[in-house]
Chains A and B, each alone.
Chain A
């Protein structure tokens, strides 16, 4: 499918800045008209007839010939219909500013790292996520100790009291996200969290226009172990937070029983900036809703040595100059 402008026929995209559908050609707002393609998989651009290079899991992409954004009907419907999504809140310009603000003090970064040309290559992508709900009961038992010290005469005493500590709690976990994209690194996607779920809405394809997207690459059962681990770790932390006043706590039992579980499929917004430097790729990921950044800045060895040597030379000149100056004054 493709969203066309009723006024000029141009490709209408979703503008995060305006929070509206926007035609970049005639600047009309909310003038979109959905055009479906006979070819649900969009191998051919319906606008220019060019062949679209599609990857196995592509759900939305840009035509390399006419630059129109296309959404693959067959990959956002039926079994691939997302239940929910968070639309992009950060547009490309805002995202560039976020990156520039974050890395403006990285003096050793290559000169063109934050250049306009490079940053323009940034792509907004809807990443497929599975959201897991768990209604769990945690039954916890531990041995707690309280230690008291005092001195009497020339004797010191240490009293250790032992307690049987038990806690039982119900925890209602909602929407633990686990990315279902092979291409996106799991640790990076975990660091993208948290998203503000107050802005979760039902899926609407129009929010995909102007961005790239993938359908889920892995089924819920393939990624559930990650969700269960998150849930289990969080449950352990929550139950331990209920225990206080002890010098030490030795866990004896921690039974996490899942009474009910559900999973839904959805899309979350991520900006990806791929910077290439000296035959190496440096990917940066920006949460398309909150602006949280994950990535490691490349280091230019020329800058490292140039800047450090300059600082050293200046400092040596200043200090040595002042010392010689003082010596001269004393002559």
Chain B
């Protein structure tokens, strides 16, 4: 008897949670499947074997040897998960005084370095981005600024907004810590290569916050479930005042509503006042798809500083 009751209890339990078990099982299967797929993808070898291994050309000499090494290591890591070449080039040379001349020269220079090096993760002139950073300034003024040349999938991913984001990250540190600035650019480019434009922009929910959120939501839901099922609706009094009255209604013999007196109270209305708000605005830069002098498609853009 006791065994039968226990068996029935287990049957009921399994029946009650069957949908939950199925969904949880599917999620676990989905997770494992994706994990296997991602591991395979992550371990894909770089297919371009003709491009040079060098990723950091510090012609402007703004980085120490140690910083260059660290940057190379960071780029190698970012390239592995983004499957895109990332090259940092610093120069110290005049590129033109006028904006249009400066932009044209920076663009051509960046595109040429990329094309001449035959960069690209998947093939020559393939997926990748090159950041050209100019430190030139003379008596006529500053020609400092950066240009981002993109190619292959990075050309598709990085539009004007993404390019601005890369440069914003970089310019936060560029004047006092160039290494940190380039590192920020590498990380952002790596994120774009890995996640695509929309996701790469957002810093997203990190794993710990996400899991903590899941834990909190589950705990709240479980507590709500517990309370809902613990509470019991009590039997209510379903009689009314007229339940035991013959015919359901009483006989009204007399009814009077006599006015006695009236009182009026007046009050002055206090007037009040309210204020307004403000706003802000910011400017932007330029970008565009074009064909380099070497005949290869590039995207990107830049900014003077």
Q: Do they bind each other? A: yes
Binding site for B on A (CB under 8 A): 106-108, 111-112, 115, 137-138, 143-144, 151, 154-176, 190-191, 193-194, 230-231, 233-235, 237-239, 241-242, 292-297, 299, 303-304, 306-312, 314-331
Per the bound structure, the CA–CA distance linking A311 and B221 in Å amounts to 9
Across the interface, B256 reaches (CB within 8 A) one of A157, A164, A169, namely A164
Residues of B41-99 whose CB lies within 8 A of A: 42, 81
**B4 CB, nearest partner CB in chain A, Å:** 10
How many B residues touch A, CB cutoff 8 Å? Answer: 76
B203-232 vs A, Cβ < 8 Å mask (1 yes, 0 no): 011010011011101110110011001101
A-B contacts, CB under 8 A, total: 226
Can you list 30 A-B contacts (CB < 8 A)?
Answer: A111-B9, A154-B268, A158-B264, A158-B267, A163-B259, A164-B260, A166-B257, A168-B255, A169-B250, A170-B251, A170-B253, A171-B245, A171-B250, A191-B237, A193-B238, A193-B239, A296-B234, A297-B232, A307-B229, A308-B226, A312-B222, A317-B28, A318-B24, A320-B215, A321-B28, A325-B30, A325-B31, A327-B210, A328-B35, A331-B194
Asked if A331 meets B250 with Cβ closer than 8 Å, knowing A156-B269, A163-B260, A319-B218, the reply is: no
**For residue A324, which residues in chain B have a CB less than 8 angstroms away from its CB?**
31, 207, 210-211
> Smallest distance from the beta carbon of B238 to chain A beta carbons, Å?
6
Task: Specify the chain B residue showing the minimal Cβ separation from A160.
Answer: B263
Residues of chain B contacted by A144 (CB below 8 angstroms): 257
Docked Cα-Cα span, A242 to B6, in Å, equals 59
Most buried by A among B38, B42, B236, B251: B251
Contact present for B199 and A317 (CB under 8 Å): no
> B101 contacts the other chain (Cβ, under 8 Å)?
no
Complex alpha-carbon distance, A325 and B238, angstroms: 53
In the complex, what residues of B have CB within 8 A of residue A168's CB?
252-255
Q: Is the CB of B269 within 8 A of A154?
A: yes
Instruction: Say yes or no for B176: interface residue by CB 8 A criterion.
Output: no
Q: Is B12 an interface residue (CB 8 A)?
A: yes
Question: In the complex, what residue of chain B is closest to A153 when comparing beta carbons?
Answer: B269
* Closest Cβ–Cβ distance, residue A299 to chain B (whole Å): 7
* Given A317-B28, A331-B81: A323 in contact with B245 (beta carbons within 8 A): no
Query: Which segment, of B15-23, B124-132, B293-301, faces chain A?
Result: B15-23
Tell me, in angstroms, the Cα distance from A210 to B281 when the chains sit together.
Answer: 88
- Spell out B's residues near A (CB within 8 Å): 5-6, 8-9, 12-13, 16-17, 20-21, 23-24, 27-28, 30-31, 34-35, 38, 42, 81, 194-195, 199, 204-205, 207, 210-211, 213-215, 217-219, 221-222, 225-226, 229-230, 232, 234-239, 241-247, 250-269, 271
Point out the residues of chain A lying under 8 angstroms from B219, CB to CB. 312
B215: which A residues are within 8 A, CB to CB? 316, 320
Q: Which 9 A-B pairs have the closest CB atoms?
A: A319-B214, A237-B241, A323-B210, A321-B27, A172-B246, A168-B254, A312-B222, A314-B20, A315-B218
Quote the shortest CB–CB distance from B266 to chain A (angstroms): 5
Contact A242 B252 (CB under 8 A): yes
Interchain CB contact under 8 A, B222 and A163:
no
User: A158-B265, A331-B81 provided; 10 other pairs, C-beta below 8 A?
Assistant: A108-B229, A154-B271, A159-B263, A166-B254, A167-B252, A167-B255, A168-B254, A230-B244, A306-B13, A310-B17
The secondary-structure label for the interface of chain A is mixed
Distance A144 CA – B17 CA, assembled complex (angstroms): 59
Nearest opposing residue in chain A for B226, CB measure? A308
Complex alpha-carbon distance, A171 and B269, angstroms: 50
Q: In this complex, what residue of A is CB-closest to B223?
A: A308
For the complex, give the distance between the alpha carbons of A127 and B245 in Å: 23
Cβ–Cβ contact B20 & A166, under 8 A: no
Q: Tell me if A299 and B230 are in contact (CB < 8 A).
A: yes
Chain A nearest CB, measured from B207 CB (Å): 6
Please pick, from B218, B238, B255, the residue contacting A312 in the complex, using a CB distance under 8 A. B218
- Residue of A at shortest CB range from B12? A111
B144 to A: closest C-beta gap in Å: 34
Q: A322: which B residues are within 8 A, CB to CB?
A: 27
> What separation, in Å, do the CA atoms of A318 and B214 have in the docked complex?
9
Q: Are B38 and A167 in contact (CB under 8 A)?
A: no
Q: Are B250 and A157 in contact (CB under 8 A)?
A: no
